Structure 1
Amino acid sequence: MGVKVSVVVPVSEPGPDDDAFDACVRSLLEQTMPSDEYEVIFADDRSDDGTRERLDAVAAVRPNVRVLHLEHTGSPVRGRNVGLAVARGEYVYLLGRRDRLERVALEAMYRAAVEADADVLIGRLVQGDSPPPRAFSRNRERADVMRDRLLTLPTAHKLFRRAFLDSREIRFAEVEPELSEQAFVLKAYLTAKVITVLADQVCCHIGAEPERPADPAGHAAGIRAVLDVVDAHSDSQEQRERLYVHLFRTAVLRPLGGRQLPAARADQRPALFAALRDLTRERFPEALDAFLPVHLRARAVLVRSGDLGRLVALSEASRGISLRAELRDVRWEEDVLLLDLAVEIVDAQGAPVTLTAAGDRLLWTPPLGGFTLPPRLADVTESVERARMEVYIRHVDYGLIFFLPVSGEMCRSREGDRVRLWAVGRARLDVGTAGLGRPLRSGEWEVHVRMHSGAHQARTRVAGHRGAQLSCVGVLAERPRKLVIPCWSEQRELSVCVEPKSFAESITLVSPGAAVTHRDGSVFVVLPVPYVPPSGGPPAELVLRHVANRSRVVSVPALVEPGVPGRYPGQLVAKVAVRRFAGEGHIGPGVWAPRLRVDGKESDLRFVLEMARGGRVRVEAGAEPGKLVPKRSAPARLATRLPGGGYLLRLARAIQQRYLPATPEE
């Protein structure tokens, strides 16, 4: 049987300690596809850090691994082209040296490509904590470039039929690597007969690439190469214009705003701005501006007018836009977790971002004094009609991301000529189907929310205020039955844990809900228990260790008792003796870090106990040991009562934090 898939990986001095490259290599060698059915081609860019020898050693014992030793260019472009030229597979997959494949990736993608007779197959990608593009909302056997938003997937992480690439003479242009990829992929998109999207199987995890030195002329040349592909292969004027708008947004206006332009070195801005200004005037007609999001319309106006100063000022003034999310309720409806949310986009000061009412139209005002847009460009009425809230979950360890179904509405209020927008909605988390119809993987899942307002877009974690409680319990959901627990992370952000590894971990997850009760010279530490096994749970101990003096340890038994109806089924209660002075068998003044000991193993709990000298004990949920703000000393308290003493105290603290070394951890 011939080679089904060739994987081409350009390599350039990853270094012997590059964990990402090691993970990349392991993922390629551990594929479920039989080794005689796929090959791996490493195109080495004359690495002199030992990588060449490491790869040669792998190839010596792996018949399906080949290493190409190339002359140094500093770019992955030549390595990709040479790899494509020598590949023997029916299909070719292009991977970066910091990326890694899931074990089943090649087998799953090849099977789907053959079934669909696809020229191009796009397997689901995971990249950092960014939400997945809408192109991955479902499987698509015959995807359309524009309708299915394939332009949001411009990288070369795809399975290409090798005969198709050869017949269309599709190769990587010698331009900036990212734009070379985009030109390659776009030509494939526009000339392929069948493009297939495999959305329900994660195939590739994309690693972060280091930033390259700015090359304004090279960037502009790369954009021209992509535009030439559009001009040569667009099948209609409408498609050509839509592609031009997309490239204007992503390749020209995006690098000239947001966080990128203010963060760029001041001496680099003029060259980048001049190159992209000239390109804009040359290739992007002003009529395209009306199809841009409103904040990019403002950016386009300043680029065309050559006003770099105002462009930088607009980018800086726009920073700080964020999303405020209020978690109103969390509850179970049988096996489905319901999340009631209200979200609103706010500025850097926390004030709601509003729009201007002009008759029956809504206008956006740039956050820059003395700069306004013509009404035809400032009008966001139609965009506001498409405003929405989205909720998605992200696996803490694997980075998998899935959107949840949300029902709700956009709300408006008007005061004078200002209109305020916010969204309210309910997200439904069904553990058995949330993974694109499949059960969720075991582990902890973060809950994120995103809002499109028509003028802005922002996202955030769903957080809880200090002292907020989750009025819900762990539930045995899905079949086979798995324990699912809503919980707060250590940063007081909402998560959902699917199938905790142990009884102790299930308690650790909800331990920010700990409370204390004083009685007869002791303090009772009460921890919620989200699920009580039929056996009542294994014997447990609460272990308290003094943060400042780690040799001081107090261990006491912890017993499971009935919990609070509607909140949690059980509670773990530990009686701890309290004294005002240090001694054996009791806690004294200071901060104490708790751990839960079950079956001889200890787990950190997500709170600390602080005992004042008067004997009172309080819980600080989510605090790290040693990170609590200490109480002021007597001289400090006296200083705050003197005229100007508070200012001097803050000044002294600021000087200490800025100029004195931090105290090392024990």
Structure 2
Amino acid sequence: MTGDTSAPPKVSVVVPAYNCGPRIGRLVDSLLKQSLPAAQFEAVFVDDGSTDDTGARLDALAAAHPHLRVVHIENSGWPSRPRNVGVAHALGEYVMFVDDDDWLGVEALERLYDTATTHHADVVIGRMAGHGRGVPRELFRRNRFDATLENAPLIDSLTCHKMFRRAFLDEHELRFPEGWPRRLEDHRMVVRAYLLSKRTCVLSDYTCYHHTRRDDGGGVTAVEMDPAEYYAALREALDVVDAHVEPGRLRDRLHRRWLRNEMLNRLRGRRMLEASPQWVAQVAAEVRDIIRERFAPGVAGGLPPMLRILAHLAAEDRLSDLRRFARWEAALHATARVERYELSGTTLTLAVHAWLESGRRPVRVSLEGDRDLLLPPVDGIAPELRDVTKALRSGRLDVVARHVETNEEVFLPVEFTVERVAGPDGTGHAVHRATMTVDVSTVNGGRTAGTWRLKTRLTSMGWMLDALLPLVVHCAADGAPPRVLEDSFLTRLKRSVRQRVPDDLVALAKGGRRG
């Protein structure tokens, strides 16, 4: 049990485990190092019929550590049942779901639990770091202690790796769907939790959860999805929303999340081009049908321009044009330049600018009257779908510090602007600028030791793309003054790229100069 049998644990960590072998060591290490005392939490590992030595490995750990427990079940083939079994065995006031190949920050359980009890939360989401996989970004821009689906981008975070009040799970019978369809089981459970939660908190000032992709290609969710099964599960997630949210702006915005992430993102760029044509055709047919059958006009209408165009092509069954767009987008990237930087003591001042490129050319817009129209590589797109006037004004350029050793990401405070640069042919492109002054010693709540790589994050017209800057900031563990180093490889690469960009951009670029 839990070492201190006089009181239930504060937190139960529920871990579904299947053939994870030694990979589970990093998670176990992070549990044994938690700042929350061992007597105040437990970990319930549910061995889903592993065929390797996972079961024996977990039994040995449980024998050595009383607050680690193991439940063995017959193989179910999917994480849903192990998680549900784990909840049934959990004794904690709160339940934290963790996968067997991920791990926690040392202070994660203590900070999440303190946030939950201070704010009487039903759900608490801790900042995530991705290791070979994407994690939400905008959600973790700041702490949010009364987040809802209306006032925060909660819908961007639908994995189950969160802390839930156990009584809340029981009250609403919130469990993971078992049986078929199996895909997106966490979406169906988590979105219902958001809709029922009286208070949801987002803890963004500490990296609680490290989310990784297995490098051996294992894990049941790594298998290429069957489009019919996958989109049947997606329809069930939409059913959850429709059962709780009336038609209108909020429902459209929630539906838009699945249209953007699970539908259109599979029909664009390299992801589409590298998949088999037969599989892409199946996905395109499913996407077409869902757009036509399930979505109100406001769902696609609220997308940024690039995604509006893709939704239109998908709804019109224009698969060849989707491929043409994908080839163009596969070459698209953000290019960034350092105009100046200066480090004075612990204060770093930085000015950068960035723009979008495809095929070594800036992404062009036509300057027609009082509006800007995107020039996509396909014909027959109505001007109202290509109108990027508002999207250009609302674009932003962030500066992000990424910790080299831990992959933690921190937004740095910036001021940003956008300007249009006209070309000789009646077209133009957008250049985004950002300036920043930050006390390096305060970054990441003062947890700065190590090396931080700087990059820009450009959000414009439906794209969110990172571009590395040729600067790294090294912060010594002993409190010595920080140092800014120029990355020689990136500097050489930057000079090589500069030789190939158009003259008007070269005139703008002042990369690498000190202020």
| TM-score, L = length of structure 1 | 0.68
State the 1:177 CA deviation.
5.5
1:255 to 266, 270, 275: 266
In the alignment, structure 1 residue 392 sits paired with structure 2 residue 403: no
Aligned residue in 1 for 2:129: 126
Alignment check: 8 A CA contact 1:385 1:454 kept: no
Partner Cα distance (2:75, 2:135) in 1: 36
Alignment check: 8 A CA contact 2:470 2:488 kept: no
Does the C-alpha gap of structure 1 residues 76 and 239 become closer, same or farther in structure 2, counting only changes over 3 Å?
same
The secondary structure found in structure 1 opposite 2:489 is coil
Aligned residue in 2 for 1:351: 361
The secondary structure found in structure 2 opposite 1:433 is helix
Does the C-alpha gap of structure 1 residues 197 and 61 become closer, same or farther in structure 2, counting only changes over 3 Å?
same
1:432 to 423, 431, 441: 441
Partner Cα distance (1:232, 1:381) in 2: 36
Alignment check: 8 A CA contact 1:335 1:475 kept: no
Partner Cα distance (2:188, 2:135) in 1: 24
Q: Deviations over 1:266-308 (max 9, x none)?
A: 2322222222322222212344221112121222122212222
The secondary structure found in structure 2 opposite 1:422 is strand
Which residue identity does 1:424 align to in structure 2? Answer: R
Does the C-alpha gap of structure 1 residues 86 and 440 become closer, same or farther in structure 2, counting only changes over 3 Å?
closer
In the alignment, structure 1 residue 182 sits paired with structure 2 residue 187: yes
Does the C-alpha gap of structure 1 residues 131 and 486 become closer, same or farther in structure 2, counting only changes over 3 Å?
farther
Does the C-alpha gap of structure 1 residues 455 and 10 become closer, same or farther in structure 2, counting only changes over 3 Å?
closer
Does the C-alpha gap of structure 1 residues 453 and 61 become closer, same or farther in structure 2, counting only changes over 3 Å?
closer
Partner Cα distance (1:352, 1:131) in 2: 28
Partner Cα distance (1:162, 1:475) in 2: 42
Aligned residue in 1 for 2:141: 137
State the 1:488 CA deviation.
2.5
In the alignment, structure 1 residue 310 sits paired with structure 2 residue 292: no
State the 1:484 CA deviation.
0.9
Alignment check: 8 A CA contact 1:132 1:401 kept: no
Q: Which runs of 5+ in 1 are unaligned?
A: 465-469, 495-565, 568-666
Structure 1 vs Structure 2 CA RMSD: 2.5
Alignment check: 8 A CA contact 1:365 1:373 kept: no
State the 1:382 CA deviation.
0.9
Alignment check: 8 A CA contact 1:33 1:107 kept: yes
Aligned residue in 2 for 1:173: 177
Aligned residue in 2 for 1:87: 90
Q: Deviations over 1:565-620 (max 9, x none)?
A: x99xxxxxxxxxxxxxxxxxxxxxxxxxxxxxxxxxxxxxxxxxxxxxxxxxxxxx
Aligned residue in 2 for 1:208: 213
In the alignment, structure 1 residue 441 sits paired with structure 2 residue 448: yes
The secondary structure found in structure 2 opposite 1:402 is strand
Shifted more, 242-251 versus 139-148: the winner is 139-148
Partner Cα distance (1:463, 1:345) in 2: 18
Partner Cα distance (1:131, 1:72) in 2: 29
The count of aligned residue pairs is 479
State the 1:493 CA deviation.
5.8
**Percent pairwise identity:** 34
Shifted more, 438-447 versus 326-335: the winner is 326-335
State the 1:61 CA deviation.
2.2
Does the C-alpha gap of structure 1 residues 35 and 332 become closer, same or farther in structure 2, counting only changes over 3 Å?
closer
In the alignment, structure 1 residue 340 sits paired with structure 2 residue 345: no
Partner Cα distance (1:396, 1:463) in 2: 14
Partner Cα distance (1:178, 1:492) in 2: 40
2:410 to 358, 379, 402: 402
2:168 to 138, 146, 164: 164
Partner Cα distance (2:304, 2:33) in 1: 44
Aligned residue in 2 for 1:5: 11
Does the C-alpha gap of structure 1 residues 61 and 453 become closer, same or farther in structure 2, counting only changes over 3 Å?
closer
Partner Cα distance (1:76, 1:493) in 2: 45
Alignment check: 8 A CA contact 1:131 1:392 kept: no
State the 1:146 CA deviation.
2.8
| TM-score, L = length of structure 2 | 0.87
Q: Deviations over 1:372-417 (max 9, x none)?
A: 3111111111111112211110110011111111224211122343
Where do residues 198-237 of structure 1 align in structure 2 (5 Å cutoff)? Answer: 198-209=203-214, 210=217, 211-234=222-245, 237=248
The secondary structure found in structure 1 opposite 2:21 is coil
In the alignment, structure 1 residue 30 sits paired with structure 2 residue 40: no
Alignment check: 8 A CA contact 1:461 1:493 kept: no
Aligned residue in 1 for 2:500: none
State the 1:457 CA deviation.
3.4
Alignment check: 8 A CA contact 2:450 2:475 kept: no
Aligned residue in 1 for 2:484: 486
State the 1:132 CA deviation.
5.6
Aligned residue in 1 for 2:388: 380
Partner Cα distance (1:89, 1:493) in 2: 52
Alignment check: 8 A CA contact 1:277 1:304 kept: yes
Which residue identity does 1:367 align to in structure 2? Answer: P
State the 1:475 CA deviation.
11
Alignment check: 8 A CA contact 1:155 1:178 kept: no
Shifted more, 302-311 versus 76-85: the winner is 302-311
State the 1:52 CA deviation.
0.7
Partner Cα distance (1:128, 1:233) in 2: 34
In the alignment, structure 1 residue 75 sits paired with structure 2 residue 85: no
Partner Cα distance (2:474, 2:249) in 1: 52
Alignment check: 8 A CA contact 2:16 2:82 kept: yes
Which residue identity does 1:214 align to in structure 2? Answer: M
Aligned residue in 2 for 1:412: 420
Partner Cα distance (1:393, 1:95) in 2: 26
State the 1:131 CA deviation.
7.7
Where do residues 246-645 of structure 1 align in structure 2 (5 Å cutoff)? Answer: 246-348=257-359, 350-368=360-378, 371-415=379-423, 416-435=425-444, 438-454=445-461, 456-463=463-470, 481-489=479-487, 491-492=489-490
Aligned residue in 2 for 1:151: 155
Q: Which runs of 5+ in 2 are unaligned?
A: 1-6, 493-512
Does the C-alpha gap of structure 1 residues 235 and 269 become closer, same or farther in structure 2, counting only changes over 3 Å?
closer
Partner Cα distance (1:444, 1:334) in 2: 17
Q: Give 1 or 2 for the bigger CA radius of gyration.
A: 1
Does the C-alpha gap of structure 1 residues 476 and 227 become closer, same or farther in structure 2, counting only changes over 3 Å?
closer
Alignment check: 8 A CA contact 1:289 1:297 kept: yes
State the 1:490 CA deviation.
5.3
State the 1:222 CA deviation.
1.2
State the 1:251 CA deviation.
1.7
